[in-house]
């Protein structure tokens, strides 16, 4: 198959759903975690849950970089934005994520120079156009977006652009999966592996999950046929008593990853000893920081960053949802105090947040069904 409509062909989807029903043991309950937030949105958007047997439970993982960022890091970043000489830049999905004193968008409304960019290269170009100002780029994302930040740092250094710096919040996926597997209250039978991250790191880094933890994993694309095929792969492994890494997304994901991207990341970044994840605490070697050779372009070296630590609002249960311990609808604030229009937590803001996905598709579907019921 080559075109998007082929991956959404009802006949193909129906065939995959039939195969899933055939493979699923009716006497067994399956818990599959989709690590990537893009998969969560696709599952809800295309109604894939409705095609699965009731004994297959899909658990939403921590694969949304905006969602896992603790509130304190947002406050740290916005402390830089208070400098009147700074143009503070970030991706659009960060603009409404709340810190203690409001979101970047609210800081913009208060008069601070906060701007949306579509890539770190846009922020670098902004620095070139405004040599009298300091431009700070709020870098965020898993290994998917880290190469573009790395290449921008390399270019800034090569060009000697001194009024540009990066506030780095790139995180890595493997330690997060390890933390989930180490959690005593979690039972996961298998993983739907992240497609976007894997275009960079490949499939080999997941082999320890199959080898050491005996958990099958299928790296998947994001169309309905992709996700259903990945579930078929997992069910076949569990039926056969095997555990291995399979690459469903072969049209995009190379087994060994993108060597050029990995080389750029290794040039500009090194692992942080520890980094705090929202709801998961500090995880060792789970994030990237800028190497000393690029310290002149490291916002954390250039500015006095306070290092704020903030707990989420007590009633919000973002951590439990991120770890898969709760479904979004089980959070006390879901759909009440916390909505996409007035988000309390990042999971309701981000375009890949599980709460936003559930609200926009599953929750609204239920609400519309109630409205349409005859009196």
**Cβ-contact 115, 130 below 8 angstroms:** no
Question: Residue 163 and residue 343: Cα distance in Å, rounded?
Answer: 34
The reported pLDDT for the residue numbered 365 is 57
Quote the percentage of the chain above a pLDDT of 70: 95
The reported pLDDT for the residue numbered 19 is 98
Whether the predicted pLDDT of 375 surpasses 80? no
Q: What is the mean pLDDT of residues 123-141?
A: 97
The reported pLDDT for the residue numbered 121 is 98
Domains of the chain: 1-312 (3.40.50.11740), 318-367 (no CATH)
pLDDT band at 353 (very low <50, low <70, confident <90, very high): confident
Lowest-confidence pick of 17-21, 234-238, 299-303, 351-355: 351-355
Tokens 């579509």 correspond to 118
Give the model confidence (pLDDT) of 244-290 as tens digits.
Answer: 999 999 999 999 999 999 999 999 999 999 999 887 889 999 999 99
Edge-to-edge strand order for the sheet containing 134-141?
114-116, 86-90, 134-141, 164-170
Higher pLDDT, 306 or 185: 306
Whether the predicted pLDDT of 319 surpasses 70? yes
Question: Residue 356 and residue 132: Cα distance in Å, rounded?
Answer: 40
Phi, psi (5° rounding) for residue 46?
A: -95, 5
DSSP code string of 52-84: S-TTEEEEEEEE-HHHHS-HHHHHHHHHHHTST
pLDDT band at 371 (very low <50, low <70, confident <90, very high): very low
Lowest-confidence pick of 307-321, 322-336, 356-370: 356-370
Whether the predicted pLDDT of 369 surpasses 60? no
The reported pLDDT for the residue numbered 93 is 86
Q: What is the mean pLDDT of residues 302-320?
A: 79
Lowest-confidence pick of 268-282, 285-299, 325-339: 325-339
Give the model confidence (pLDDT) of 194-219 as tens digits.
Answer: 999 999 999 999 999 999 999 999 99
Whether the predicted pLDDT of 370 surpasses 60? no
The reported pLDDT for the residue numbered 145 is 96
Kindly report the average pLDDT of the chain as a whole number: 90
The reported pLDDT for the residue numbered 366 is 55
Q: What is the mean pLDDT of residues 19-37?
A: 96
Q: What is the mean pLDDT of residues 332-359?
A: 80
The reported pLDDT for the residue numbered 368 is 42
The reported pLDDT for the residue numbered 341 is 77
Higher pLDDT, 375 or 65: 65
Whether the predicted pLDDT of 59 surpasses 50? yes
Pick from 180, 166, 149, 148: which is nearest to 63 by CA? 180
pLDDT band at 363 (very low <50, low <70, confident <90, very high): low
């Amino acid at each position: 198959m080559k075109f998007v409509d082929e991956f959404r062909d009802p006949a193909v989807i129906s065939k995959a759903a039939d195969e899933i029903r055939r493979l699923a043991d009716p006497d067994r309950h399956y818990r599959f975690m989709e690590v990537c937030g893009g998969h969560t949105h696709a599952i809800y958007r295309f109604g894939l849950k409705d095609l699965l047997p009731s004994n297959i439970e899909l658990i939403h993982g921590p694969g949304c970089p905006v969602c896992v960022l603790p509130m304190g890091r947002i406050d740290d970043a916005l402390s830089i934005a208070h400098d009147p000489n700074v143009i503070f830049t970030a991706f659009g999905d960060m603009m409404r994520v709340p810190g203690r004193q409001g979101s970047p968008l609210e800081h913009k409304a208060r008069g601070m120079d906060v701007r949306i960019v579509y890539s770190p290269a846009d922020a670098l170009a902004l620095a070139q156009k405004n040599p009298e100002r300091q431009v700070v780029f709020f870098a965020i994302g898993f290994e998917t977006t880290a190469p573009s930040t790395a290449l921008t740092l390399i270019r800034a250094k090569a060009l000697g652009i001194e009024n540009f710096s990066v506030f780095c919040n790139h995180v890595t996926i493997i330690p997060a999966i390890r933390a989930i597997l180490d959690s005593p209250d979690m039972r996961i039978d298998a993983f739907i592996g992240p497609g976007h991250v894997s275009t960079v790191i490949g499939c080999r880094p997941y082999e320890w999950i199959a080898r050491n933890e005996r958990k099958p994993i299928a790296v998947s694309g994001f169309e309905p046929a992709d996700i259903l095929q990945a579930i078929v792969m997992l069910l076949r492994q569990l039926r056969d008593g095997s555990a291995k890494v399979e690459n469903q997304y072969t049209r995009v994901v190379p087994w060994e990853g993108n060597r050029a991207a990995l080389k750029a990341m290794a040039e500009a970044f090194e692992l942080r000893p520890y980094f705090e994840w929202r709801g998961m605490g500090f995880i060792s070697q789970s994030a990237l920081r800028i190497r000393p050779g690029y310290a002149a372009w490291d916002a954390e070296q250039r500015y006095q960053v306070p290092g704020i630590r903030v707990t989420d609002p007590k009633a919000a249960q973002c951590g439990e949802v991120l770890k898969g311990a709760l479904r979004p609808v089980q959070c006390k604030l879901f759909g009440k105090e916390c909505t996409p229009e007035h988000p309390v937590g990042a999971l309701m803001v981000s375009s890949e947040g599980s709460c936003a996905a559930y609200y926009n598709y599953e929750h609204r579907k239920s609400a519309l069904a109630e409205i349409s019921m005859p009196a």
